[in-house]
Amino acid sequence: MTTLIAANPQGFWLSLGGVLLAAEMLGASGYLLWSGVAALIVGVLVWLLPQLPWEWQGAIFAVLTVAVAFLWWYWLRQRPAGAPNDAQMLNQRNRQLIGTHATLTEAMHNGIGRINIGDSSWRAQANDDLPVGTDVEVIAVAGVTLVIRAISR
């Protein structure tokens, strides 16, 4: 077996990279991804430089695994994590509607009415009584009631 690997080292590294990436797809949570990428890079290097000794191949694999994982970690830290309130609004559809424009489907009486957003009808509250058909914007949420204001065109 070792003679076969010694005779075809680029095949070994490319196969190892493929196996590690396949194992990563089975659910290793990112642990095998960078080792697989490093093995593929070493396979390409060994293909380009066939006289590279096996000691150097192993050392390059180890250094590349750590370097690529560190670069990925660094890139993730520099990247914005998304909107600042993403975690706070998870599973709170009403808060996700803030800033949405809609049309009033029921006249506002004493500051209370209804609007349709998507396939849902929402209870709405405003400071003024507004007629049906008024274009409104959701500006806040109070429980399950959307606080709205009329917008002028």
Q: What is the pLDDT of residues 13-44, one digit of tens each?
A: 999 999 999 999 887 677 788 899 999 999 99
Residue 9: which residues within 8 A CB-CB, separation 6 or more? Answer: 46, 50, 52, 54, 57
Which of 9, 37, 6, 43 lies closest to 23 in space, CA to CA?
37
In CATH terms, is domain 88-150 a member of 3.40.50.720?
A: no
Confidence of residue 120 (pLDDT cuts 50, 70, 90): confident
Structural contact between residues 146 and 138, judged by C-beta atoms closer than 8 angstroms: yes
Q: Mind listing the pLDDT tens digit for each residue in 87-111?
A: 555 667 777 888 999 888 888 889 8
Q: How remote is the C-alpha of 135 from its chain's centroid?
A: 33
Q: How far is CA 144 from CA 56, 140, 141, in A?
A: 64, 11, 7
Q: What is the mean pLDDT of the chain?
A: 85
Q: Where in the chain is the domain with CATH 2.40.50.140?
A: 88-150
pTM over 0.75: no
